[in-house]
Amino acid sequence: MKQRYFLPLVALIGVASTSSMAATIDVTYAKSADFGSGQVGYITGAIAPNPNSHNSFVGVSIGGNSFTTNNIDYDFSSSGQFNAWCVDIYHWMSNGSTIYDVATASDLATELSKLRPETPGQIRVDKMIQLANQVYSFIDTTIESAAFQLAIWEIAYGTPSAVGSFIIDSTDKNFRVKDSSLAFVSLANNWLSQLATANNTGNYTLTYLNDGARNKSQDVIVFTETPLAPSSFSVPEPNSFALIGLGLAGFSFVRRKKVVRV
């Protein structure tokens, strides 16, 4: 059977209203994530639920995705290429071109609340952004890409503990992996375990690309690094220092003239 690339939000998202999501972007799937030195590939693992079954494990390709686009109007698409992460374990990723509604983190939170009402969607979205703030800047290998994707799925669908922490295992009915001993699963759980004490630094923003009622591809999210705010103190250029020096010298000369006695 032909293996299809599986990359993630949800049947619930497929029926989401698009009335507040007028902005769109036309993208073409370009396979695995590219962090600047070429595509890193995927790791194959078995998860449930999935597009084929709610209860049985199905093998999927786990990792970030690369998209190309002619629409460079958005911060995340300004180079014509960007990486995206699935938030939809109920659909397969389209291998061709897809039109997405460009939505917000709040829109994603609303959809996740519908799907997993036991935990507010905003809490899950905040955890995703918190995860990105902690580890996204150094992800550039296959195992790190797979671990990050798996952690996103767990936050989106998994059942949190009594204290609100997430862990990927083989028994959670809402999201589970067949083999939780694999290296990239362990790495994802290590990252997730640190979220309880990690700060949400605001280094990254989240954009939600929603397939809406089209049902042609998985919904995805994009993380964009937040530009540093300009400093309120501007350091003068060299010529400016010279002018300041002349001004101070002139001021000093005037002061000396005022105290001369004749």
The full 3-state SS of 65-80, as one line of letters, equals: EEEEECCCCCHHHCCC
Exposed (0-12), middle (13-18) or buried (19+): which is 37, by Cβ within 10 Å?
A: exposed
Exposed (0-12), middle (13-18) or buried (19+): which is 181, by Cβ within 10 Å?
A: exposed
Residues in contact with 108: Cβ distance below 8 Å, sequence separation at least 6, in sequence order: 9, 87, 121, 125, 206, 208, 221
Q: For the chain, give the mean pLDDT.
A: 83
Query: Crossing angle of helices 105-115/121-135, nearest 10°?
Result: 130
Q: What three-state secondary structure class fits 105?
A: helix
pLDDT over threshold 80, residue 13: no
pLDDT at 199: 66
pLDDT at 220: 98
Q: How far is CA 36 from CA 79, 138, 141, 155, in A?
A: 12, 12, 11, 27
pLDDT at 56: 97
Let me know: does 60 contact 86? Beta carbons within 8 Å.
no
pLDDT at 240: 45
Query: What does the domain layout of the chain look like in residue ranges?
Result: 11-228
Which of 250 and 16 is assigned the larger pLDDT?
250
pLDDT at 158: 98
> pLDDT tens digits, residue range 52-61?
999 999 999 9
pLDDT over threshold 60, residue 75: yes
